[in-house]
C-alpha cells in the first residue's frame, strides 16, 4: 500500500471531497486530491486578478493599448508553448500517458500549409492577432520585454522540463490548460466589447476557449493517473501553485503598466 493510501494522523487527514489538497498528500484517493486542487485553483487570484476584471469591464485608462501591451508581453511566454509541452511529454513515465498529451502538441503545431488561419500553428495565429491590433516592427523596436515576462517564460520552462515526476504535469495541466478558457474569456470580452479591433482579432482566444476544455479533461485524467504516492502529489501541487503564482506576477506587472498607458 502506498503512503498516499495510508491513514494519517487523527484530526489531520480527512479524505473527503472537501479536504484541502495539503491534507490529501498522505491519504485519500488520487481523485480526491486532484478535485481538491481544482477547487483551490478556482480560488487563486491568478484567475480573477483585478487586471483581468478591469480589462474585461473596460475600466483601464486605455483598453486598446493595454491589450496591445498584453499581447506583446504575453507572446514572450506563449511562443515557447511547444517547448513546454515537449518537456512535459518527455517527463511522463509511460507511452500511454505521453500519447494523452501528443494530441495537444499536434493542435499547437497545427498545419503550416493550411490556407485557413484557424488551422495554422497556434503561434502563427497569435502572431496574426498581434499584427491585426497594430503590433508592427516599430512597436517591437520601441517596446522591450518586461523582466517579469522573461522570468515567467524561463521559470515555467524549468518546471515543464523537471525530471521530478508530476511538476510539469501540474504546471502545464491544472495550472495552465485547465484555466486558460476562464482567463481568455476576460481578454476576449475586452477585445469584443471595448475596442474597435476587427472580429478576427478574437480568433486565437475563441479557439482556446473551445479546445482547451478538451485538453484540460485529458490532463486531469493524466494527473489522477500519476497522483498515487506522496512524492508525486507534492510535485504536482508544487507545479500547480508555482505556475499560478508566476502567472499572477505577470498580471501584477501588466496591471501596473496598464495604469500608465
Over residues 193-205, the pLDDT tens digits come to 999 999 999 999 9
> Is 176 contained in some domain?
yes
Q: How far apart are CA 215 and CA 187, in angstroms?
A: 20
- pLDDT-derived band at 3 (thresholds 50, 70, 90) equals very low
Name residue, grid cell 502529489: 233
Expressed in percent and rounded to 5, the helix, strand and coil fractions of the chain are 70, 0, 30
Instruction: Tell me which residue of 51, 53, 75, 58 sits closest to 143, measured CA to CA.
Output: 75
> Is 71 contained in some domain?
yes
> Is 19 contained in some domain?
no
pLDDT for 17 equals 53
Residue 153 pLDDT exceeds 80:
yes
pLDDT for 143 equals 97
Q: How far apart are CA 204 and CA 79, in angstroms?
A: 13
pLDDT for 1 equals 39
> Is 13 contained in some domain?
no
Q: To the nearest whole percent, how much of the chain has pLDDT over 70?
A: 92
Q: Are 165 and 237 in contact (CB under 8 A)?
A: no
- Measured in degrees and rounded to the nearest 5, phi and psi for residue 48 equal -145, 35
Residue 108 pLDDT exceeds 90:
no
Instruction: Give the range among 32-36, 37-41, 46-50, 93-97 with minimum mean pLDDT.
Output: 93-97
Q: How far apart are CA 126 and CA 77, in angstroms?
A: 12
CATH number at residue 168: 1.20.910.10
Residue 228 pLDDT exceeds 50:
yes
- pLDDT-derived band at 11 (thresholds 50, 70, 90) equals very low
- pLDDT-derived band at 9 (thresholds 50, 70, 90) equals very low
Q: How far apart are CA 81 and CA 124, in angstroms?
A: 12
Buried/exposed 207-243: b ≥16 CB within 10 Å, e otherwise: bbbebbeebbebbbebbbbbbbbeebbbbbbbbbbbb
What end-to-end distance do the CA atoms of the chain give, in Å? 58
Q: Mean pLDDT for the chain?
A: 91
Q: To the nearest whole percent, how much of the chain has pLDDT over 90?
A: 79
Q: How far apart are CA 241 and CA 123, in angstroms?
A: 26
Residue 64 pLDDT exceeds 80:
yes
Give the total number of structural domains in the chain: 1
pLDDT for 77 equals 97
Residue 161 pLDDT exceeds 90:
yes
- Measured in degrees and rounded to the nearest 5, phi and psi for residue 206 equal -65, -40
pLDDT for 10 equals 37
> Is 35 contained in some domain?
no
- pLDDT-derived band at 213 (thresholds 50, 70, 90) equals low
Q: How far apart are CA 242 and CA 159, in angstroms?
A: 9
**Structural domain boundaries, residue 110:** 49-258
pLDDT for 210 equals 79
> Is 157 contained in some domain?
yes
Q: How far apart are CA 154 and CA 152, in angstroms?
A: 6
Can you tell me the mean pLDDT for 31-58? 97
Query: What angle (nearest 5°) sits at the alpha carbon of residue 20, between those of residues 19 and 21?
Result: 115
Q: pLDDT tens digits for 177-191?
A: 999 999 999 999 999
Q: How far apart are CA 182 and CA 58, in angstroms?
A: 18
> Is 126 contained in some domain?
yes
pLDDT for 99 equals 86
pLDDT for 212 equals 60
Instruction: Tell me which residue of 47, 63, 79, 9 sits closest to 183, measured CA to CA.
Output: 47
Q: What is the dihedral of CA 45, 47, 49, 53, to 10 degrees?
A: -150
What is the grid cell recorded at 217? 479533461
Amino acid at each position: 500500500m502506498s503512503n498516499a493510501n495510508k491513514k494519517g494522523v487523527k484530526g489531520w487527514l480527512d479524505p473527503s471531497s472537501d479536504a484541502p489538497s495539503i491534507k490529501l498528500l498522505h491519504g485519500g484517493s488520487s481523485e480526491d486530491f486532484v478535485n481538491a486542487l481544482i477547487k483551490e485553483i478556482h480560488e487563486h487570484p491568478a484567475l480573477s486578478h483585478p487586471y483581468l476584471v478591469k480589462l474585461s469591464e473596460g475600466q483601464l485608462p486605455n483598453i486598446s493599448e493595454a491589450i496591445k501591451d498584453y499581447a506583446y508581453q504575453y507572446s514572450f511566454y506563449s511562443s515557447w508553448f511547444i517547448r513546454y509541452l515537449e518537456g512535459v511529454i518527455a517527463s511522463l513515465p509511460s507511452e500511454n500517458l505521453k500519447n494523452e498529451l501528443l494530441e495537444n502538441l499536434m493542435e499547437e503545431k497545427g498545419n503550416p500549409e493550411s490556407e485557413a488561419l484557424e488551422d495554422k500553428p497556434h503561434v502563427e495565429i497569435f502572431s496574426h492577432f498581434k499584427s491585426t491590433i497594430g503590433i508592427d516592427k516599430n512597436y517591437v523596436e520601441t517596446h522591450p520585454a518586461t523582466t517579469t515576462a522573461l522570468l515567467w517564460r524561463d521559470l515555467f520552462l524549468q518546471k515543464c522540463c523537471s525530471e521530478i515526476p508530476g511538476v510539469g504535469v501540474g504546471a502545464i495541466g491544472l495550472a495552465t490548460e485547465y484555466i486558460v478558457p476562464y482567463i481568455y474569456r476576460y481578454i476576449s470580452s475586452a477585445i469584443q466589447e471595448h475596442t474597435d479591433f476587427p472580429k478576427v482579432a478574437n480568433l486565437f482566444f475563441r479557439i482556446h476557449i473551445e479546445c482547451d476544455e478538451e485538453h484540460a479533461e485529458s490532463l486531469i485524467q493524466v494527473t489522477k493517473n500519476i497522483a498515487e504516492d506522496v512524492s508525486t502529489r507534492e510535485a504536482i501541487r508544487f507545479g500547480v501553485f508555482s505556475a499560478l503564482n508566476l502567472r499572477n506576477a505577470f498580471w501584477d506587472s501588466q496591471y501596473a503598466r496598464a495604469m500608465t498607458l
